[in-house]
Homo-oligomer: A and B are copies of this chain.
Amino acid sequence: MPVSRSDWFDAKYSDDTHLRIRVVERLFKTQSNFQKIEVLDSIDFGRVLLLDDIINVTERDEFIYHEMMSHVPLFSHPEPRRVLVVGGGDGGVVREVVKHQPVHDVMLVEIDADVVDVCRSFFPQVSCALSDSRVSIHHQDAADFIKKMQQDSLDVIIIDSTDPGGASEKLFGPAFYEDCFKALTSEGVLTAQSESPFFDADIMLSLYEIARKVFPVVRFYIAFMPSYVSGIWSFLYCSKQTDPLSGFQRARYEQSRLDTRYYSAEIHAASFTLPPFIKQQLPF
């Protein structure tokens, strides 16, 4: 099929800046109970998952986000066995989590069943581990789910939420962080996507203020993410005791020999190095 030269999708970085990508084909569109879900095929980024018009996953660069969300906390924990993934219905985080040998139980709490179904159909390389025997999928509100978790029962929590607002709003609030703290073991680690330090520093700041009232260790790390706002993405790291640098599990990392394309032991350390302009926006 010849490519239409005139079909573009504008991903809003802000009201006044867009990432404009040429669309080869509009593959799918539905309105779920929670959001608009669309799949496009683009020339530069391959297939793109849009949730309420925001780029969530692209085939071209999803590896960066999913590797950094997963391997940083899992290699900061001495033996991550039970992992909770909040959101992340595309399965990209789960795909990386199950690469860790100690993991034997991964709970994916994705409120929107349609996201999982769409990604199973259109993003097989992203959703491939959702059928792994260690993985259970729960279509529930994650804030309710975590409230009911047994204390000290989780090793790692990964919050792969959409931007604040709508169904994900609670995931950016203090009660949710308190419940996560309770559910984590004493060596527990939590990471959360925390938006662009260039366009959304206010969200980073708000998350930082909430997290440091709950967790003894709170840090940010960053990664390049070409299809996300500004190309810089930040991640919140919280733990009860483990520093992500001194606590890095080098022996297990070297044994694992992961086939990662963005993450490495060196990137693990370098990603916590924040440029002064980001630090100046935060009350460190």
Using a CB–CB distance below 8 Å, which chain A residues touch chain B?
10, 13-22, 42-45, 61, 63-64, 198-199, 222, 224-226, 230-232, 260-264, 266-267, 269-270, 273, 275-277, 280
Contact = CB atoms under 8 A, between A and B. Distances in A.
A63 B230 CA distance: 15
Nearest to A261: B277
Given A18-B20, A226-B231, A267-B273, 19 more contacts: A13-B44, A14-B44, A15-B43, A16-B21, A16-B42, A17-B19, A17-B22, A18-B19, A18-B21, A64-B275, A198-B224, A224-B224, A224-B230, A225-B231, A231-B232, A262-B275, A269-B270, A270-B270, A270-B273
Contacts of A64: 275
A261 B275 contact: yes
A16 B22 contact: yes
Indicate how many identical chains form the complex.
2
Nearest to A11: B20
A260 B279 CA distance: 12
Contact of A230 (B199, B226, B270): B226
A267 B260 contact: no
Output the residue of A20, A45, A232 with the most chain B CB within 10 A.
A20
A58 to B, nearest CB: 11
A19 B19 contact: yes
B17 A20 contact: yes
A119 B4 CA distance: 39
Contacts of A61: 198
